[in-house]
Structure 1
Amino acid sequence: MKLIFALAAAASMCLLPAQAAKEVFAHYIVGNSADFSVADWEEDIQLAQDVSIDAFVLNVGSQDTNNAASLPKVFEAANNKNFKLFFSFDYAAMGPWPKDQVIALMKQFGSDPAYFAEPETGKPFVSTFEGPGNAGDWPTIKAATNCFFVPDWTSLPPADAASAAGGVADGLFSFIAWPNGDANMTTDSDKLFQTVLQPEQKKYMMPVSPWFYTALPGLSFPKNWLWRGDSLWDLRWQQVVEVQPDFVEILTWNDFGESHYIGPVRKTPAKQLLSAGGAPVDYVTNNPHDGWRKHLAFYISQYKNGGGSAAASAAAVGNSSVRVPVNAAAAAPVVKEESAVVYYRTNPATACGTGGTLGNNADFGQSETAPENLVQDNVFFTALLNSPADVAVTIGGKAQTSAFTKTPAGGGAGTYEGNVGFAGNVGDVVVTVTRKGTPVVEVKGGPPISKNCAVENWNAVAISAP
């Protein structure tokens, strides 16, 4: 399969569709939760609710024998927590889903109170990971289940995906969440999807992801490459505000193997996955990504308010378990709790062996390159503040010249961003934000930067405070 990265420049001229509802979902690999109890599911659900995520997208493999035990537990937990779920049928990891099994699973869970219904039609929402070769199954599945169908068929050009099986899809989800090469992510692909879908008033679900690195060469489908993740998380949420898609799907909550998890590291499934995949280094266990959730309620409220002012978004932070309604009236520009997020890789790019990792992947129609060509040896930081402030960074106790280089218009409440290079230094990373000499927030405690490694860990660490 090849993703379509060569996208028409004309896409940037499309008109935005009218918005009826905006929801934010997180992609959840059910296969990575085989040992979960109901309480474990409730713990992850609560973390998602705390940052205004509306539902988990349950990625289910066609031959995963754990589905029968796992799915009743997660639906029980979701009902206990008043949370929503819907299925993404994975047609790639374990082969295509037989249509009768899709129908059976939808009939079992599609009417459950916890199952997410598309807001305008009230129909149970369904997605896929790939599977355009089985597009012809979906007229029958839709007739049997009355579902609202928004697949990921990104291996096809958007126009072909939209017209597959007589236009059976009610919308499309794109998996183009990472840039091709050393440039930053653009919105060209998103706007092309919107251009294709708008004439038929079909929905667009936009992907957002913080990172991508996988090193599982021992799988039956070996994977060992990275895509550029520098600045991606903050930039992509700014692009969500610009694009204003119908839905947003975060890639992912718990895909440890591809390093784009924002949920907590579950050490047992992570270690099992890395061991089964022959990973050359444990790139997950000591690489928390919890920091990337810290400002998520702010980003989501910006999206749901159509961009608006920073005021309405900032007002949601500090009580992020309360969802902000779409088009809520602007509130006073106050961030109730000023905070900061820091992320970085723990090995300089040329300090260790590559582990066979490549930058980009020819299977996706990309030009492969050395991985160090796609990453920067930088410490990245984002602070959510009420007003301008100063930032100081030390690596191994050595001060780095640092400043916020991207600030909100007018210097009010919002996100302040910047980054500094490693400059050859190793050791603990400490980022301190002050205002007129008074401490505001300090982020520390993550794994140190080190050159003491045999194989490069291309994954990031994302931490935050308070």
Structure 2
Amino acid sequence: MFAHWHTPVQPVNTLDAYRAEIRKAQAMGVDGFAYNVTPGLTNWNNTYRSRIDMLYQAASEVGDFYLFPSVDMCCSNDRNWIDTVMLYRYNDPARLRMDGLPVGQTWIGQNTAPSGTGSDPVAGWKGVLDAYAAKGKPIYFIPYFPPDNGFTQQTVNHVYDRFSYAHGLYNFAAFAEGDDQLAGVRQNTYYDVAADARGRDAMAGAAPVFNRHSGAEQFGNRIIGDFEGFHTWLEEWKGIVREQPRFVEVVTWNDYLEGTYIGGPYPGRLPSSSTGNDLNHAAYRKLAQYYIEWYTMDTQPTITNDTIAIAHRLHSKYAVASEDPLAKQRGWENVEDVLYGAVLLKKPAQVRLQSGNTSQTFDLTAGVHEVSMPFAEGTQRIALSRGGQIRLTATSSRSINNDITRYNFNYNTAWAAN
């Protein structure tokens, strides 16, 4: 059970901050981080190597936490840089090992041969892995190599067959798509089916939300899809429990550029490129604990404590920003103006959502439930009652206000448990 750690955009890079994030991860059942490193050797030597050293030190000091590289092939195919990152700390006790081999991952690269290996990516990556093995440093290779023509069972099968030497494949793209909240759930299934049929491994993804508002270019101003509060997140965890892939990697722990983080938050510490992504996502961590325990033990846990949570955006999708140099994020029309709730109940209870001056009450049985209502400006709150007495409340730290200067389609969350 792992999470994607985005080295370039972590805003506070101190040993104390790293230890704190690792402890948060362990508290929800995460065993380690895949540390994403973007190109190239200059960035590595000047910045990223020292951050990775600190991450390894923090993991070692906290204990029982493991790390592995995720080489980001977004912008370079430089072989020297790839080798440097992939083999760095090869024998470190905190380097994750599977089947006796240190683990290595990429973020894309399925159509890019590492430099000096020819033009064929399939032969190129095999040559790189063979060279590592010849030096006595074989790698357990489980890259994110997405299909080129969209996700279907056939296209995922094709990638497994194309890179037949990879130990498995990772599904980083576990997002809602448009108004399809379950796209990522189906993708995880495709990987699991393909892996099982070939006797290989799958690494499922789970993503809470996506929110980027950093530039006008195609990928700089988008939300990808409507995650419906906790719905995509919970359905992905249900699928993971059902299918039991060998690995899971949360997308992501700390990508404050694209808003997929479940760590932090770091209000007031983010650059302007991460606008809107200082909101609290702690409820995603709390709700996932139940499913991670289920996945890890392969037995449904008994709910012994109540948990309540809410998620909401900060303004209506129809609100108009008075000072934003950028348009609304692409995909904004897919979202709904809704206050979302999720609860884990040890026995039946009444759950009340309050949005501004409006509210709605739900009579619920024991178990896991999602509830929702149209949102209104003002304070956002959830309360749990039994026998006419309020037992739990959670109030969002942010209200809804349609008088805005900048657009923000991220969620703020709040939770409480007994």
Instruction: Compute the TM-score of the two structures, normalised by the length of structure 2.
Output: 0.86
Verify the 8 A CA contact 1:126 1:151 in the aligned structure 2: yes
Q: 1:14 is matched with which residue?
A: none
Corresponding position: 1:224 with 2:221: yes
Q: 1:210 is matched with which residue?
A: 208
Deviations, residues 401-448 of structure 1 (Å, cap 9, x unaligned):
2326xx6xxx44x323211111xx211112111111122210014200
Q: 2:151 is matched with which residue?
A: none
Corresponding position: 1:342 with 2:339: no
SS at match of 2:101: coil
Verify the 8 A CA contact 2:68 2:103 in the aligned structure 1: yes
Q: 2:102 aligns with which of 118, 124, 139?
A: 124
Q: 1:271 is matched with which residue?
A: 271
Verify the 8 A CA contact 2:11 2:266 in the aligned structure 1: no
- Structure 1 letter corresponding to 2:345: L
C-alpha separation in 2, matches of 1:212 and 1:62: 23
SS at match of 2:226: coil
Q: 1:403 is matched with which residue?
A: 362
1:193 offset after TM fit, Å? 2.2
SS at match of 2:29: coil
C-alpha separation in 1, matches of 2:361 and 2:79: 56
- Structure 1 letter corresponding to 2:276: Y
SS at match of 1:417: strand
Verify the 8 A CA contact 1:205 1:249 in the aligned structure 2: yes
1:299 offset after TM fit, Å? 1.4
**Count of residues in correspondence between the two structures:** 385
Q: 1:52 is matched with which residue?
A: 29
After TM superposition, list the pairs within 5 Å mapping 1:14-413 onto structure 2.
Answer: 24-33=1-10, 35-63=12-40, 64=43, 65-82=46-63, 83-92=65-74, 94-96=75-77, 98-118=78-98, 121-132=99-110, 133-134=112-113, 135=121, 136-143=123-130, 144=132, 145-156=137-148, 157-164=155-162, 167-186=164-183, 187-217=185-215, 222-226=219-223, 227-230=225-228, 231-267=231-267, 270-274=270-274, 282-285=275-278, 287-306=279-298, 308-311=299-302, 314=303, 334-335=304-305, 338-353=306-321, 355-360=326-331, 371-372=332-333, 374-396=334-356, 398-403=357-362, 411-412=365-366
Instruction: Compute the TM-score of the two structures, normalised by the length of structure 1.
Output: 0.77
1:155 offset after TM fit, Å? 4.1
Deviations, residues 188-225 of structure 1 (Å, cap 9, x unaligned):
32222233333321101111001012112167x75111
C-alpha separation in 2, matches of 1:109 and 1:61: 17
SS at match of 1:87: strand
Q: 1:455 is matched with which residue?
A: 406
1:271 offset after TM fit, Å? 2.1
- Structure 2 letter corresponding to 1:294: K
SS at match of 2:341: strand
Verify the 8 A CA contact 2:309 2:382 in the aligned structure 1: no
Deviations, residues 73-108 of structure 1 (Å, cap 9, x unaligned):
11011111111111111001x423x33333333433
1:358 offset after TM fit, Å? 4.5
Deviations, residues 307-345 of structure 1 (Å, cap 9, x unaligned):
x3342xx3xxxxxxxxxxxxxxxxxxx23xx22111001
- Distance change (3 Å), C-alpha of 1:402 and 1:161: same
- Structure 1 letter corresponding to 2:180: A
C-alpha separation in 2, matches of 1:42 and 1:351: 40
- Distance change (3 Å), C-alpha of 1:104 and 1:284: closer
Q: Percent identity?
A: 21
Verify the 8 A CA contact 2:234 2:288 in the aligned structure 1: no
List alignment gaps of at least 5 residues for structure 1: 1-23, 275-281, 315-333, 361-370
SS at match of 1:85: strand
- Structure 1 letter corresponding to 2:67: L
- Structure 1 letter corresponding to 2:258: E
Verify the 8 A CA contact 2:385 2:391 in the aligned structure 1: yes
SS at match of 1:416: strand
Verify the 8 A CA contact 1:33 1:269 in the aligned structure 2: no
Q: 2:377 is matched with which residue?
A: 426
SS at match of 1:256: coil
C-alpha separation in 2, matches of 1:34 and 1:262: 14
Verify the 8 A CA contact 2:102 2:138 in the aligned structure 1: yes
SS at match of 2:158: helix
- Aligned-residue CA RMSD (Å): 2.2
- Structure 2 letter corresponding to 1:159: N
C-alpha separation in 2, matches of 1:200 and 1:391: 46
Verify the 8 A CA contact 1:130 1:155 in the aligned structure 2: no
1:241 offset after TM fit, Å? 1.6
1:34 offset after TM fit, Å? 6.6
- Structure 1 letter corresponding to 2:210: F
- Distance change (3 Å), C-alpha of 1:390 and 1:67: same
C-alpha separation in 2, matches of 1:383 and 1:241: 18
Verify the 8 A CA contact 1:292 1:463 in the aligned structure 2: no
